[in-house]
């Protein structure tokens, strides 16, 4: 997802010059890091009055929540007002190299829910011909979204994992959700989690790791018998995941 971000920086009148210089230097370093990571695409300085400091940035992030986290971590965060505009592809974009004669719509993502689940002690099956196999039970949790909210059903939810030699984890996640209205959702996700050896080792030790430091993605199908949620049966969904000590977070999106 792409976002246009407007920064309006107001330096405190009583801020020591050394503090201002330290933060401005840190801001430059943060911009370089975000650019290297692919989050900061471009940044501009618009015309301003002599006593104003403003900037316009084009950012990329997996979600608005991830972007908010990146911006909150900036050294000048508490000295600036930020305006965020989500951007959608336009069919007339010159950068669009698709054939103009039969142009298909660009897919877009709509947030459906965020699930925060707890994990139990995994069952370790050991090494098999396909890799190291284990089953990680999802023991509870809650989910919330614009249209549906509820809880995860323990005893009917787990992640059947295959861990490859390089630490990459292939997930076969099957979990059941119960909405606040009592409707059941059967969710099946197939995904992958990979990253550098150092990051994967930290995850394996149960450390807190920034989700932007590794890739955790799934393709997801949702099935329900609830008439008012029948649209879920027709959807194609993807999810972004993140591990936490003792738990996992999935943000699921409808591909439209």
Q: Of 56, 87, 118, which residue is a domain's last?
A: 87
User: Which tokens belong to 16?
Assistant: 């020591």
Distance CA 46, CA 21 (A): 21
Q: Is the pTM of this model over 0.95?
A: no
Q: Are strands 169-179 and 149-152 parallel, antiparallel or unpaired?
A: antiparallel
Residues 33 and 144 in one domain: no
Give 23-61 pLDDT, tens digit per residue: 888 888 888 888 888 899 999 988 877 777 889 999 999
Position 229 in a domain: yes
Q: Rounded to an integer, what distance in angstroms lies between the CA atom of residue 196 and that of residue 61?
A: 20
48 within some domain = yes
pLDDT-derived band at 208 (thresholds 50, 70, 90) equals confident
- The answer to the question of residue 96 being in a domain is no
Q: Please report which confidence band the pLDDT of residue 99 belongs to, taking 50, 70 and 90 as the band edges.
A: low
| C-beta of residue 162 within 8 angstroms of C-beta of residue 169 | yes
Mean pLDDT of 127-149: 92
Q: Are residues 81 and 143 in the same domain?
A: no
Domain assignment of residue 97, yes or no: no
Report the alpha-carbon distance of residue 175 to residue 187 in Å, rounded. Answer: 5
Residues 241 and 183 in one domain: yes
Residue 27: CATH number of its domain: 3.30.70.1060
Instruction: Provide the residue range defining the domain that includes 74.
Output: 2-87
Question: Are residues 128 and 222 located together in one domain of the fold?
Answer: yes
Please state the domain count of the chain: 2
What six digits make up the tokens of 186? Answer: 């059967």
Q: Is residue 54 a contact partner of residue 76, using CB atoms and an 8 Å limit?
A: no
Do residues 131 and 250 share a domain? Answer: yes
């Amino acid at each position: 997802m792409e976002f246009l971000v407007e920064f309006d920086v107001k330096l405190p009148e009583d801020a020591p010059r050394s503090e201002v210089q330290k933060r401005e230097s840190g801001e430059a370093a943060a911009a370089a890091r975000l650019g290297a990571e692919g989050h900061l695409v471009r940044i501009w300085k618009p015309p301003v009055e002599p006593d104003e400091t403003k900037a316009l940035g084009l950012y990329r992030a997996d979600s608005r929540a991830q972007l908010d986290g990146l911006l909150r971590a900036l050294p000048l965060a508490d000295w600036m007002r930020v305006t965020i505009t989500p951007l959608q592809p336009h069919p007339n974009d010159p950068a669009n190299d698709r054939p103009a004669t039969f142009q298909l719509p660009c897919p877009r993502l709509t947030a459906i829910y965020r699930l925060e689940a707890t994990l139990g002690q995994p069952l370790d099956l050991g090494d098999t011909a396909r890799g190291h196999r284990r089953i990680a039970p999802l023991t509870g949790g809650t989910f919330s979204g614009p249209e549906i909210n509820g809880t995860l059903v323990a005893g009917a939810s787990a992640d059947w994992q295959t861990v490859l030699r390089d630490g990459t984890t292939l997930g076969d996640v099957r979990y059941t959700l119960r909405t606040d209205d009592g409707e059941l959702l059967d969710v099946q996700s197939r995904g992958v989690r990979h990253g550098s050896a150092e990051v994967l080792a930290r995850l394996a030790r149960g450390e807190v790791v920034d989700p932007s430091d590794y890739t955790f993605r799934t393709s997801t199908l949702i099935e329900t018998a609830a008439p008012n949620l029948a649209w879920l049966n027709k959807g194609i969904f993807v999810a972004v995941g993140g591990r936490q000590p003792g738990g996992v977070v999935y943000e699921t999106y409808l591909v439209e």
